Each structure stands twice: as structure tokens, then as C-alpha cells.
Structure 1
């Protein structure tokens, strides 16, 4: 079994459960160059060609056992399953993000990334900065790894500013010389801390899942369509991070953040992100929607596409170009 410190040595045979035929599916043809408002064509014909799902997971607990500290027990979700799902939306390229259940053992992610290949895949791993070896990081880079994840939200970790700064600086020392990103999942209310720390890191940041806002304290009046996202604690700091030009935001996993009454709030946030920093917003499905069941991501993808309808080229940025820039897709190793 692959370990977190040893990359796969046989790229075409790292995991017998991952189907080779699954990665040879043809590119989606007959895309529209511009999506008319109200189009009823399937999404796979409306999303830009070579679009990316910038945040998804492959989970195989039988082949790659989860951490003893995992806060939930996952179902099996293979690379073949992922590709079947992505094809329904017309997403051709994948960013594998290390889920909390695997801790610092990136074996499952590396196996999937090795099989898909760096021309269609990127990876964001979780490491212990004190023990990870430089040779291992270089081998992972060749596979397509381009980021380190710091995940506080999934495990309920609370940090003060000094601890957060120390953690991010240690990761930045690894990421900076490789031009990797640090992907961070933390509550929106912690954004002022991150805004203060970010200039000392010298790396690109990617903030997961809308910045993880908490809508639970909203009044009925605030749930309306005229909602001002700047009333959310931390939102101004998040916008300031995006304005600096060295941070990205993922609009993803809406079901983790909202319900039918507060969907307008996420749309208001997304509109502001796209208005302020159209080159720094990226789309993702968060497949396989761990800890949730019966999720249909199609309506969310539809409204993401609708947000781009009035500005030519914006959908191309949201679904493709911004991810490619952030994760160095056009580098020589890809």
C-alpha cells in the first residue's frame, strides 16, 4: 500500500480497483462558445471545454484504510465513480483534495492522481511539515501535486492567531519554493486573522467553500434577496484577501452552508466575489459530498453558470482558467 511518504512507483498499476478504461473517455464535443440565458441544453454541452472540478475526493477505505482519528466513516467512491459523475456535468479535469479522514496518509489521492495523469489532474495533499521529506515532495510534484491543505473546519479545530500563523508559516516554507498553494478550510469569522497573516507567507492561498460562512444567526429580514454579505463577520477581510491578488476562493459545497431559506445569501456572496476578483474565483462540486446523502449538484452548477451569463469569458474563468492558473496547469511537467 502507498504511504504518505512514498509516491506510487508504477503509475499504471498503483491500485487494482481503479479502472484504466475509466480514464480514456473522449473529450466532450459540441460545446457552446456562449451559453444563452435560459438554455435548456444539458450542462455537459454548456460548460466551457476542459472545465475543472477544483475540489473533489476519491475514497477507498478497503484499499486505503482511513485514519483511526477519522470523525466519520466514508463509503467507497472510486476514480471510476468520480469520472462517471463528472461526465454528467461535462467536467473533464479533476483536483483531488485530501479529505480529513485520511490525515497525512495521501496514498488514495496519489494513486488516483497517478492513474489520471497530470494533464487532467492536480492534487492538494496534507502533510506534517516536521516529517515530510523533500525527495517525496519532488516526486509528488511530478505526479501533479500543487498544494498543501490546512483543514480546521472539518475536524472542529480552533486556533488563535499565533498558532494559526505558526502553522501556516511552516506550510509556506514547503509550498513557496515549489510554487504550491496553501488551501485552507476555516470559518469565515477567522478571516481577519488570515488577512493579518497572509502577507508574511509569500504563497498563494485558496479558501475553501465560500469561506465557510455561518448563517445561523441571520434574522428573517436578512434572509431576503437584498442580503448584504458585508454584514457577515469576516467577509470584508475575505474580500480584502481577494483584492490583493494572491488569494483564491472556491464557490463549492453549498449544502454544507445553507438551506432553502438562505440560498440567496450564497448567491450574493458569489456575485460579490466575481465582481471584485473575477480572476480569483473557482468552481467545485465537493463530490462525493461526504457526510451528506442524495445531493444533486446540478442546480448549484446551473446558478454558477447563470452568474456568468452576462459577461463574455467569465464562465471560462470560473470553470477553467482560474484553476489552471492557480495550480500551474500549463507547467512543463503537465
Structure 2
């Protein structure tokens, strides 16, 4: 198992979690939130420069669904500074790759060459797809072979499902949990029962945690989760700015704290 989440554009420090999008554009039915402002890649690159970071990772936002075109255009425009994590169809995951290459393998190669390094599943308000089923089997094998990761935004109860699924997934497929696992309490007794700890123990070195979006967790809960994971010997954190902090634009204190750079 490699000791890095993926191969960055350069060896210098970077950001593992940000979003780009156009103003007021959605590609899903009944999205929970659609920003009325634009977050173009050029604005994001300025943020990276301001914080002394050489590169960043674009994560497909939930309100754009499987329409990854804006993200892929940004990767094409700035290949030396950006990597990407896409969203694919839960039920027919091959469709995304077939559309690019004629069949799954060529589609994967095209996306990998474009800078894609992972697939995201946002489970908030959604059910877990059948990752152990036949439709997902070739997708996960290709992801494993290219050293991509499978990234989850998931609440505590859904992390129990992820732990149950682990034995059915390719053994070298990297797993990423967004936003500290979204803990909602900093109380030591309650925090200690969070399913993320069991998931970390079950997954071993294949699992990574995004140190991003502390404001998406309960008050003080992200810091408490980080400290408790470190106390238990966990070290595979990757820092994410979560720029432009959708739904928390005015409450994004601490967004860049994990990078050691200056705060604007």
C-alpha cells in the first residue's frame, strides 16, 4: 500500500478538497443547496497561492451530480496544478467511463490521464449503492489498479455500513472519509463511540481521513475527533480547505488551519 493518497502534480504541499462550479447551475433533481455565486478555478488557484500551496484537488459537488464537465475542463486547463475526484452513476457506474472511451477500460485511462484520481459517494440523504454487486465490480477493480480512491461523505450510521462492506471490496482499494467523519459531539464518552474508530481499525492502512470542513461537524467535534484519532495512533490525515465552503461561507473559521500557511 502506497504511503500517499495519490500522485500530486508536484511534491510540494497541496490541498485535498475543494470545489469549482458556475453560479446557480445544478444537474440533479431537488438539490439540497445550489450556490448563486461562481467558484471558478482561477479564483481557487489564487487561494492556493495565498496560502502557499502548489496544487489542489477538485471534488465534484453534490448539486452537479454526474455532470463532471466543469471539473474536467478545469483539470484540462490547469494540469500542473489540479487533480480531481468525480461522481458517477450509482446504479450504472460503467456509463461514465463508457461515454469517454467506448468501454470501461478506455474511459478509465482517459480520466486518469486527465488527472482524475478518485470517485466520490455523497451518502447524505441517500442510500448506500450496491458496491458488492456485479455493476460495481469492474469499476472498483480498475480503481484499485490505477491507485484511485473511493471517497465517502457519510454520517455515523452509514460508516457502519462502510465497515461491513470492506471485506467485499478490493483489498488494496483506498478508502477516504470526508470531513473527519462528520462527528456531532466533542464529549469524550459519546465521541469515543463514533463508528469511525471501528472503521479505522477494520480498514487499516487503506483508509484516509480528510481534515477538512470542521464547521460541518458539531462545535469542537472535529478537533476532538482529530485528537482522539491521533491518540489511537492514526496518522493518515490529508488536509482539505473545503473552499469555497458551500453552505458555510460565512462560518468557515479554521478552514485553512491544517496547512500551516497564512490565513487571509
Match of 2:87 in 1: 126
Structure 1 residue corresponding to 2:57, chosen from 84, 95, 101: 95
Counterpart of 1:271 in structure 2 is 227
Work out which of the residue numbers 237, 243, 255 in structure 2 matches 1:287. Answer: 243
Distance 1:151 1:267, change over 3 A: same
Note closer, same or farther for the CA distance 1:214–1:232 as it changes in structure 2 (3 Å cut): farther
TM-score by length of 2: 0.79
1:146 offset after TM fit, Å?
0.9
Structure 2: 5+ residue runs without aligned partners? 1-9, 99-103
Distance 1:150 1:241, change over 3 A: same
SS at match of 1:55: strand
Contact 1:185 1:208 in 2 (8 A): yes
Match among 112, 117, 126 for residue 157 of structure 1: 126
Distance 1:76 1:305, change over 3 A: closer
Unaligned stretches of 5+ residues in structure 1: 1-26, 28-48, 307-314, 316-334
User: What does 1:1-334 correspond to in 2, within 5 Å?
Assistant: 50-61=12-23, 65-69=25-29, 70-74=31-35, 75-117=37-79, 119-128=80-89, 129-131=93-95, 132-133=97-98, 134=104, 135-153=106-124, 156-159=125-128, 163=130, 165-166=132-133, 169=137, 171-202=139-170, 203-215=173-185, 222=187, 227-228=188-189, 230-241=191-202, 244-258=204-218, 262-263=219-220, 265-275=221-231, 276-278=233-235, 280-297=236-253, 299-302=254-257, 304=258
Structure exhibiting the larger radius of gyration computed from Cα positions: 1
Deviation at 1:250, TM superposition (A): 0.4
Cα distance 1:196–1:68, how it changes in 2: closer, same or farther (>3 A)?
Answer: closer
Contact 1:273 1:281 in 2 (8 A): no
Distance (Å, rounded) in 1 between the aligned partners of 2:136 and 2:191: 26
For residues 209 and 195 of structure 2, the distance between their equivalents in structure 1, rounded to whole angstroms, comes to: 14
Q: Distance in 2 between matches of 1:205 and 1:173?
A: 13
How many Å apart are 1:124 and its aligned residue? 0.5
SS in 2 for 1:127: coil
Q: Is the 1:53–1:93 Cα contact (8 Å) retained in structure 2? A: yes
- Offset of 1:68 from its aligned partner? 4.1
Compared with structure 1, are the counterparts of its residues 141 and 305 closer, same or farther at alpha carbon in structure 2 (3 Å cutoff)? Answer: closer
TM-score where L is the length of structure 1: 0.63
- Partner SS state of residue 209, structure 2: strand
Q: Distance in 1 between matches of 2:169 and 2:46?
A: 38
Structure 1 distance, partners of 2:191, 2:230, is: 15
Deviations 1:174-209 (A, max 9, x none): 412322111111112322221221132121111111
CA-CA distance at 1:71 after TM superposition: 2.6
